[in-house]
Amino acid sequence: MNWTIILHAGIASGTVLLFATVGEVLAERAGILNLGLEGMMLIGAMSAYSMAINYGNPWLGLVAGMAAAGLLSLVHGFVSIHLRADQVVSGLSLTFLGTGLSLVFGEGLSKAGAVALLPKFTLPVLSSIPFLGDIFFTNQSVMVYVGFLLAPAAWYYINRTRPGMHMRAVGEYPAAADSMGINVYGVRYLYTCIGGMLAGLAGATISLAVSPGWFSHMTTSGQGWIAVGLTIFAQWDPLRAAAGSYAFGALRRLILDLQGPTKLLLWDNPFYYNPYWGFFLKMIPYAFTIAVLVIGSREAMRKRLGTPAALGVPYTRGQRGV
Amino acid sequence: MPEAVSAVEMRGIVKRFPGVLANDRVDFDLRQGEIHALLGENGAGKSTLMNVLAGLYRPEDGAIWVHGAPVNFRSPRDAIVHGIGMVHQHFMLVPSLTVTENILLGLHEPRFLMQLPAYHKRIAALEERFGLGVAPEAKIWQLSVGEQQRVEVLKMLYRGAEVLVMDEPTAVLAPQEVDELFATLRSMTAEGKSIVLISHKLNEVMAISDRITVLRKGRTAGPPLDTGSTSREALAELMVGRKVLFEISKDIQAPGDLVMSIENVSAENDQGLPALGGVSLQIRSGEILGLAGVAGNGQSELAEVITGLRPCTAGQVTINGKQVSNLPARVAIDANVAHIPMDRTGVGSSPNLSITDNLIMKAYRQRPISKGWSIDGRFARRHATKLKDEYEIIAPSIDTQSRLLSGGNLQRVILAREMSGKPQAIVAVQPTRGLDVGAIEGVQRLLLEQRRAGAAVLLISEELEELLSLADRIAVIYEGEILGIVEDQDQEAVGLMMAGHREIPAKEGERKSG
């Protein structure tokens, strides 16, 4: 096993999780829980791939993927903001809707042939840093570099700017924000949509950069759910979200590589001799997600983790409290 | 158009909520530089009227003028642009943000980057001008309730409010904090600002206001009164619509044997933090011990330890020598401890059950209501009918679900259940909170009746007046500790201890005990 290769691929694969998780962080900091990430990522991946094939331009694909997922997220926005429905139910429905739509429109796309992908390049200077340069800055997709910039930018936006403060206020105590003249519904729609567009970006990054192609629902293979878990794990902080995403990206790659060699350290590799054991390895990220979701939903834990106080709670003017 | 001298003029305001006419053609006017009290019972429509003025509600009918110009507010932002700011009873502050961030919330400046240090300075300057001390960098959740209220006031002053509406501002404050607040209000009127004070407390209205408008059942009970030319009695009659007796007569009686003994009890709150640190109290038969304190200083935890609803980490509680703490709640029930909880719908009653079921909820295991396995329905109904008459519970029938009852009637159901078992000990937590003047009188009478019958009563209340008129002794709790016990109704000593002062002026020193 080559650690440089594992980490290099892990960063690329983690970029997908990073976009989705940062998007969910933004939506949830404004109080909207969107469990439809998986559906939005699939729509994004499918639209981006389809557009890139039809027009031969991956950048156009990227825009299409973000737009499609952003539109889909507005469905969730309308249902949970204006109609005040249960956000868990609405988010789950969005996953089914997004998955269904992308499978129908994506039918036949997997045999469509070669497509222009987003460019890869090596950053001068930075790539010559020993070890780290090979992992982070050598022959990576443009989206990886976008990811490096996105996480700190999101952190700065949330913690140091006026719109970021308004977003936090809306997610913590919408009645207070409303009484100060902040448009609670408007803010929630905005970040639901931004969260959706970033999920679309994540999907497009899969199909046009990280593991190019359209493999129906296996394109995302549950990464939307991992991003939901990572949002809690990151305690709604974009920088921690980035760290978690890269760690999970590397883990996904490590799991594949673990099944290759005949020997692990000094012992026979059980995953090589028992190919079915690999399924247990592949289960790890999802088992982690379930554990995080269960722990994160406990009331006492929510306070300790710093869950946005109004997360998942519809806002109606004139009702006291959150 | 009305004369231009008024800072605010409201005419014929009508506001409806589903099933309720909250404001029925209400008139109100506020003069420049005055403190105008809006007085009325709970549900009289005071807060609704001011929420209309603050732009939170839109009235169905009526008109508002500000400094003589007609206005039509669509949102609180519109109202504040016209210089009208409201401090709500439930604070509109985001707990995870700092004082400065909360004050800047919703403003157009700063445009994008926050640059907090510069704004900290501006807010500190504003604080100094009006005598409102609070650290601008502190997060809201770190502040006391009194400090949070100051942040609310600052929020409005920073936006240039000329008219400040305060909704029940003293409900959450210790007596000394009330004095500070009133001093701040006076310094604001001295600068020409006008203040509306919503309240249902006659004493504070008489103490601070220049004029008073009384609301009753959504209507004004006559034109505004000058505070100097009216009286508590006259105001109470306007509020309730009939004469009210203020003095509850309490017989002098010597307490009997020790009934409830709380020995060195410590306990944790729901977050697992220490809430009680070594509380010891003794209550004898025929005695009411009042427990004074600002909410959240361990009162509810203490009540729960006594009634077996919360484990204690140290110490014990005994009733007639029998331990009840750290045992199932049934042990306390069997020891004949009555519990009148603060949370009437969550703990005191089961909202979806009938009045009958709620009334037998404690006695259902004993004959004659129980017949071995089953409940004697016919007897239960007779029992419930009897209690309904005796305690004057007003409801269509004994089968009515208790969630359909008004606050006062629900409290009567709970009292009927708890008092009819001839309790040895009573734990009453805020038994009159949120009730009308008339209902309060009834609850207080019942407690005194039980005292006469020889019960040991622990009365936990935030209403100092109530404690002074009912209790034989008053213990003061602060941050989970008993700071002292006052036996001669010294209001000032109680107030100082409620604010956490252990040192009491010399003359009170000798009164401190257990």
Q: Tell me how far the alpha carbon of residue B241 is from its chain's centroid.
A: 22
Residue among A162, A179, A182 minimizing CB distance to B56? A179
Does residue B166 share a domain with residue B108? yes
Mutate to test the interface with A, among B105, B139, B156, B269 (most CBs of A within 10 A): B105
B328 near A CB under 8 A: no
Alpha carbons B107 and B174: distance in angstroms, whole number: 32
| Distance, CA of B437 to CA of A78 (rounded, Å) | 46
Indicate the residue type of B308.
G
Residues B234 and B102 in one domain: yes
Encoded tokens for A216: 């129906």
**Is residue B148 included in any domain, yes or no?**
yes
Tell me the HSE value of A141 on the side-chain side, using a 13 A CA sphere: 25
Residues of chain B with pLDDT under 70: 1-5, 19, 242-249, 503-514
Please tell me whether residues B48 and B164 are part of one structural domain: yes
pLDDT for res B19: 67
Q: Using the 3D structure, point to which of B214, B240, B266 is the last residue of a domain.
A: B240
Query: Is B15 within the bounds of a domain?
Result: yes
Q: How far apart are CA B170 and CA B460, in angstroms?
A: 18
For residues A144 and A254, the model is more confident at A144
Judged by CB atoms closer than 8 Å, whether chains meet at A173 and B94 is answered as yes
H/E element, B213: strand B211-216
Residues whose CB falls within 8 Å of the CB of residue B58, separated by 6 or more in sequence, listed in order:
B52, B73, B74
pLDDT at res. B92: 87
Long-range pairs for B444-447: beta carbons < 8 A, 24 or more residues apart:
B444/B248, B444/B469, B444/B470, B445/B248, B446/B415, B446/B419, B447/B288
Half-sphere exposure of B171 (CA within 13 A, CB side): 17
Cβ B77–A161 below 8 Å, yes or no? no
Give the mean model confidence (pLDDT) for residues A79-106.
Answer: 94
Residue length, chain B?
A: 514
Q: pLDDT band for position A284 (50/70/90)?
A: confident
- Could you tell me the residue range of the domain that residue B486 belongs to? 257-336+425-430+455-514
The residue behind tokens 């502050």 is: B93
Structural tokens at position B142: 């770190």
Q: Angle CA(B233)–CA(B437)–CA(B388) in degrees, nearest 5?
A: 140
Give which of A133, A146, A148 is closest to A4, Cα–Cα. Answer: A133
**Subunit contact B97:A165, Cβ cutoff 8 A:** yes
Whether B29 maps to a domain, the answer reads: yes
3-state secondary structure of A109: helix
**Under a CB-based contact definition with an 8 Å cutoff, are residues B2 and B11 in contact?**
yes
Q: Which member of B94, B111, B272 has the closest CB to residue A169?
A: B94
Are the CB atoms for B37 and B209 separated by under 8 Å?
A: yes
Q: Could you tell me if B26 and B215 are in contact, meaning their C-beta atoms sit under 8 angstroms apart?
A: yes
Nearest to B97 among A161, A169, A320 (CB): A169
Phi-psi sector, A236: left (phi>0), alpha (psi -120 to 50), beta: left
Does the residue B228 lie in any domain?
yes
Q: Do the chains contact at B76 and A181, CB–CB below 8 Å?
A: yes
A130 interfaces chain B, CB cutoff of 8 Å: no
The pLDDT value recorded for residue A69 is 97
Q: Are residues B200 and B282 in the same domain?
A: no
Rounded CA-CA distance B36/A279 in Å is 73
Q: Which of B240, B269, B290 is the last residue of a domain?
A: B240
A225 phi and psi angles, rounded to 5 deg = -70, -35
Whether B504 is in a domain gets the answer: yes
Angle CA B436–B441–B445, to nearest 5: 150
List the domains of chain A with CATH numbers: 3-305 (1.10.3470)
pLDDT at A222 over 60: yes
Which chain A residue has the Cα nearest residue B51?
Answer: A318
**Domain check: are B197 and B261 in the same one?**
no
Angle formed at CA B459 by CA B149 and CA B424, multiple of 5 degrees = 160
pLDDT of residue A1: 66
Question: Looking up tokens 């009334």, which residue turns up?
Answer: B359
Q: How far is B511 from chain A, CA to nearest CA, in Å?
A: 42
Edge-to-edge order in the sheet of strand B456-460: B337-340, B425-429, B456-460, B287-292, B473-478, B481-486
Q: Rounded CA gap, A71 and A102, in Å?
A: 13
pLDDT of residue A318: 59
Q: How far apart are CA B394 and CA A317, in angstroms?
A: 33
pLDDT of residue B1: 40
| Residue among A28, A156, A162, A166 with most chain B CBs within 10 A, to mutate | A162
User: What is the pLDDT, as a whole number, of residue B168?
Assistant: 87
Are residues B89 and B143 located together in one domain of the fold?
Answer: yes
Of B240, B266, B297, the last residue of a domain is B240
Q: What confidence tens digit (pLDDT) does each residue in A95-138 have? A: 999 999 999 999 888 887 778 889 999 998 898 898 899 999 99
Q: What domain count does chain B have?
A: 2
CB B82 within 8 A of CB B66: yes
Asked if residue B279 and residue B191 are part of one domain, the reply reads no
Same domain, B212 and B313: no
Q: Which two tokens stand for residue B294?
A: 């600002």
User: What distance in Å separates the CA atoms of residue B51 and residue A179, rounded to the nearest whole number?
Assistant: 11
Which residues from chain A sit within 8 angstroms of residue B90, using beta carbons? 320-321
Same-domain check for residues B279 and B206: no
Grouping H, G, I as helix, E, B as strand and the rest as coil, residue B172 is coil
Q: What is the 3-state secondary structure (H, E, C) of A265-315?
A: CCEECHHHHCHHHHHHHHHHHHHHHHHHHHHHCCHHHHHHHCCCCCCCCCC
Residues B154 and B125 in one domain: yes
pLDDT higher than threshold 50 for residue A294: yes
Same domain for B72 and B149, yes or no, is yes
In a domain, B107, yes or no: yes
pTM reported for the whole predicted model:
0.72
Q: Is B71 exposed, middle or buried (0-12, 13-18, 19+ CB in 10 A)?
A: middle
CATH code at B145?
A: 3.40.50.300
Is B97 within 8 Å of A172 when comparing Cβ atoms? Answer: yes
Packing angle, helices A184-205 and A3-29, rounded to 10: 160
Amino acid at A71: L
In this structure, which long-range contacts are made by residues B66-69, counting pairs with CB atoms below 8 Å and at least 24 apart in sequence? Answer: B66/B7, B66/B8, B66/B9, B66/B163, B67/B4, B67/B6, B67/B7, B68/B1, B68/B2, B68/B3, B68/B4, B68/B6, B68/B9
Residue B506 CB neighbour total at 10 angstroms: 7
| Pair (B194, B328) in one structural domain | no
Tokens of B72: 């039509």
- DSSP E strands, chain A: 120-121, 140-141, 263-264, 267-268
Instruction: Tell me whether A321 touches chain B (CB under 8 Å).
Output: yes
Q: Is residue B445 part of a domain?
A: no
Classified as helix, coil or strand, A206 is helix
A–B interface: beta-carbon pairs under 8 A: 73
Burial class from Cβ neighbours inside 10 Å (0-12, 13-18, 19+) for residue A90 reads buried
Verify whether the Cβ–Cβ distance A181 to B271 is below 8 Å: no
B169-223: pLDDT as tens digits:
887 787 788 888 999 999 899 989 999 999 878 888 999 999 999 998 889 988 8
Work out the burial of residue B514: count CB atoms within 10 Å of its CB; fewer than 13 is exposed, 13-18 middle, 19 or more buried. exposed
